[in-house]
Structure 1
């Protein structure tokens, strides 16, 4: 009986050792599926026809480097990790903050950008909202997108101002311009982008953000072969100066 059990255990371990990894599946299927929200400039943006942005360019480089086709799979901030766990895509990309809660559920790539929470305001209010204390006052309306770290930051830190939540991140800068809200809780790269794109907007705290964090990519839990591969490609991109070129082109 013991011999039979031992044989079964060996067979199970052998089968596990030959289990097809995610990288093998990607190569076999000749396709890498990238989940992205398409609503977070300058990292991911769906223009009605195609996806564009910093992380979209990185995704294209990864697919080309692997010699496989690239498929973008739309997702949302609320369903980002659920969709990844449900195998709707192989990797999530698009201005995603590395944090402990995400690390518990998924694998995080090495960081590729340091940033911080920064407000986006109307140009006329540039000198008015220069600190969290100045923002968190009665009568101030603060806009955030639902499901991301901006919402979590606002829920934790905004006590006196009114928080107004939007389904789409792209709608919040427009809400600031229209006067629906006074401040958008954003992140420094996005704040820089919108301040440059719209003359009516300003980013008063990009040099002294309210927090410090890092961006990375999400990979399904336990997919260490995929994690190692992505980190290797990112290291190579850094070495070749491709990361600097993308930052100069996309984050402005």
Structure 2
């Protein structure tokens, strides 16, 4: 016959086991809720655009694709337990519009105040320098020579440089390009004198344009962060945990290396 003490002990064990089961069930339900919130179609739709290591680049030798949005999007999808679905656009402005319309679930981009009106951002993942690239045989040697009549500054339409450089260089002319590829073609047709964007993209262009130069110095920083649609803020702590984890476990460094990302600096929160 079980003693009163034994009955109480068994009861406490059953209560403890019930609490553990309830806690695990609640955690599982919470994880399920976050997955539904962050990947409502059952896939994580990752917005990418070609030509920037912060988003998507293709190795010409192996034809493998990499980039921060590409690689970390895949890692985040695995974390959520869903497949990844890459959705490609011409330029970052199109990706932001797609996230605003909840047509894309995830990307990594410059967390500007203007964009924060349309999407929700994680803490800063990494910062990249902004700079200028001039074509072969250009006479421009420094940024001090840019602000003068007749100088045409190529920028990506809808990007940070288009919104910023008009005020910085009032005497020069801003010439928007539909994409990074279009900007390279504009160099070939003599339609721009330099191109301004983040340095990782400029290094990609210079690799394919022998003799092109990236001018010394920088005109600012882009603070790259994970962007998700508005209305999903309840899941932002999980996104923030992901950012913290990839910064510390080597995954961010691996993604930067495989994408050939240059011009990055440590993020300051």
Q: TM-score, normalised by structure 2?
A: 0.73
Q: Does the aligned pair in 2 maintain the 1:129–1:135 contact within 8 Å?
A: no
User: Is the alpha carbon distance of 1:59 and 1:129 closer, same or farther for their aligned partners in structure 2, counting shifts above 3 Å?
Assistant: same
The partner residue of 1:227 within 236, 257, 260 is: 236
| Offset, 1:22 | 5.5
Structure 2 counterpart of 1:121: 134
Question: How large is the Cα RMSD of the aligned pairs?
Answer: 2.7
**1-side partners of 2:234 and 2:148: how far apart?**
48
1:46-195 equivalences under 5 Å are 52-75=66-89, 76-93=91-108, 96-125=109-138, 128-131=140-143, 133-195=144-206
Count of paired positions = 226
- Aligned to 1:111, the other structure's residue is in SS state strand
Q: 5+ residue gaps in structure 2?
A: 1-29, 263-269
Larger Rg: 2
Q: Does the aligned pair in 1 maintain the 2:67–2:255 contact within 8 Å?
A: no
| Offset, 1:183 | 0.3
| Offset, 1:109 | 1.4
Structure 1 counterpart of 2:207: 196
Q: Does the aligned pair in 2 maintain the 1:143–1:184 contact within 8 Å?
A: yes
Displacement over 6 Å in runs of 4+? none
**2-side partners of 1:236 and 1:140: how far apart?**
44
Q: TM-score, normalised by structure 1?
A: 0.78
| Offset, 1:28 | 7.0
**2-side partners of 1:180 and 1:27: how far apart?**
42
**1-side partners of 2:56 and 2:202: how far apart?**
15
**2-side partners of 1:121 and 1:177: how far apart?**
12
- Aligned to 1:110, the other structure's residue is in SS state strand
| Offset, 1:218 | 1.4
User: Is the alpha carbon distance of 1:53 and 1:28 closer, same or farther for their aligned partners in structure 2, counting shifts above 3 Å?
Assistant: closer
Q: 5+ residue gaps in structure 1?
A: 1-17
